[in-house]
Amino acid sequence: MKTGMIIILFFAITIEIIACHKKTIPEVTTRTNFPPAPKTPKLPENSPEAIAAGKTLFDTRCNRCHDLKDPKEYTSEHWTTVLQNMVPKAKLNDEQAKEVTSYVMANSKK
């Protein structure tokens, strides 16, 4: 019985030592100099390409939450107010906001 207790005590101490032993963590080298992300070409404001891109964004992003309004229904002043409120809600970046603005202003009520 004494030997059984010694064996159990030996295994308990061994398990305790193994569990508390500091594990070696492999070093991971991280890359800190990532290449710059490619820039998307900026379209000139009010260019036909910007207006077309704005129409696509208007049709897809603005239509997510509500029915689309025809840009010809409102004046450019009204659209300016609407866009100030809706661009952040649609989570458009600056370039997308310029494209949607180009589309709406090109087609607003004169």
In a domain, 33, yes or no: no
Q: What is the pLDDT of residue 104?
A: 92
Q: Which is nearest to 86 in space by CA: 109, 66, 102, 70?
A: 66
User: How many other β-carbons are positioned within 10 Å of the β-carbon of residue 91?
Assistant: 8
Domain assignment present for residue 26? The answer is no
Residue 76's domain comprises: 48-106
When divided into structural domains, the chain yields a total of 1
Token couple for 85:
């409120």
C-alpha to C-alpha distance for 69 and 38, rounded to whole angstroms: 34
Residue 28 in domain:
no
Per-10-residue mean pLDDT for the chain, 110 residues long? 78 78 68 63 78 92 88 92 91 90 90
Cβ proximity of 92 and 61 under 8 Å: yes
Which positions ≥6 away from 1 have C-beta within 8 Å? none
Whether 65 is covered by a domain: the verdict is yes
Within a domain: residue 25?
Answer: no
Residue 70 within any structural domain of the chain = yes
Q: How does DSSP assign 42-85, residue by residue?
A: PPPTT-HHHHHHHHHHHHHHGGGTSPPPPGGGSBHHHHHHHHHH
Query: What confidence score (pLDDT) does residue 32 get?
Result: 63
